[in-house]
Amino acid sequence: MSSTKFILGLFDDPDDMMHGIEKLQKNSVPIYDVYTPMPIHGIEAKLGIKESRLGYAAFCFGCLGATVIFSILYYTLVHDWPMDIGGKPNFAMPNFVPFTFEWTILFTAFGMTFTFFAATHLFPGRAPRVMDLRATDDRFVIAIDAKGNIPHDDITNLLKEAGAVEVKHNDRKYVSYE
């Protein structure tokens, strides 16, 4: 039994990497994840990853922001301390617009971004779970869980044929822990 935990196919070109994904899928090798230095368009469809639902979160946070500030405005201007300014109406909606607008944007931005951080487990101080240090520089990395995916040499050959510049058999899942 080999001690290999993960097999990494390192590509120097995104198109070759996409080719590698196709080859692996054709041979029924499950892909653990793909790490790239830039977003790759069309990769989600290929890997069968569902569309992000962050847009719905953003919409809900926007509605929340609008409701919160509108309630504060209504409470202070109309309910708690209505002022008679030359007989003008207290519930003067046009004046509410700038505040409601700004807080809709504020809540949308912060709510959505923090949902993104929470869902992706991003926060200051999180230990980076990096499989290859060049994945944030110039390498497009396909990671394959070695467990159950045997023989390893066949996977190596598949990746090499697809144009991988290097194939690594790592004994540790992550290289980034000191």
Partner 1 sequence: MASHSESIIREPLITGRDITYAQITNEVLNPVENKPNKAWWIGFTVASMGALLWVVAISYTFWFGLGAWGLNKTVGWAWDITGFVWWVGIGHAGTLISAVLLLFRQNWRNSINRSAEAMTIFAVICAATYIVAHMGRPWLAYFTLPLPNQYVLWVNWNSALMMDVFAISTYFSVSLVFWYTGLLPDIASIRDRATGLRRRIYSVMSFGWTGSVKTWQRFETVSLILAGISTPLVLSVHTIVSFDFATSLEPGWHTTIFPPYFVAGAIFSGFAMVQTLLLVTRKVLGLENYITMFHIESMNKIIMLTGSIVGVAYITEFFIAWYSGVEYEQYAFINRATGPYWWAYWSMMSCNVISPQLFWSSKLRRSIKFSWFLSIIVNIGMWFERFVIIVTSLHRDYIPSSWVMFYPTWVDVGVFIGSIGLFFTMFLLFIRVLPSVAMAEVKLLLKTSSEQAKKKLILEGHLEPAEVQHYKESLVKFDSIDMSDYEKI
Contact 135, 11 (CB under 8 A): no
Contacts of 14-19 with CB under 8 Å at 24 or more apart are 14/38, 14/40, 14/140, 16/140, 16/162, 16/163, 16/164, 17/140, 17/142, 17/162, 18/42, 18/43, 18/46, 19/162, 19/163
Among 60, 130, 163, 173, binds partner 1 (CB under 8 A): 130
Using the contact rule CB under 8 A, the part of the chain among 1-9, 69-77, 145-153, 160-168 near partner 1 is: 69-77
Site membership for partner 1, residue 76 (CB under 8 A): yes
Shorter beta-carbon distance to partner 1: residue 113 or 156: 113
Q: What's the distance, Cα to Cα, between the start and end of the chain in Å?
A: 27
Q: Using CB under 8 A, which of the segments 2-10, 15-23, 147-155, 159-167 binds partner 1?
A: 15-23
Q: Say how far apart CA 104 and CA 31 lie, in whole Å.
A: 40
Residue 3 vs 178, nearer CB to partner 1:
178
Judged by CB under 8 A, does residue 39 bind partner 1? yes
* The only residue of 81, 86, 87, 151 in contact with partner 1, by rule CB under 8 A: 81
Minimum CB distance to partner 1 smaller for 90 or for 157: 90
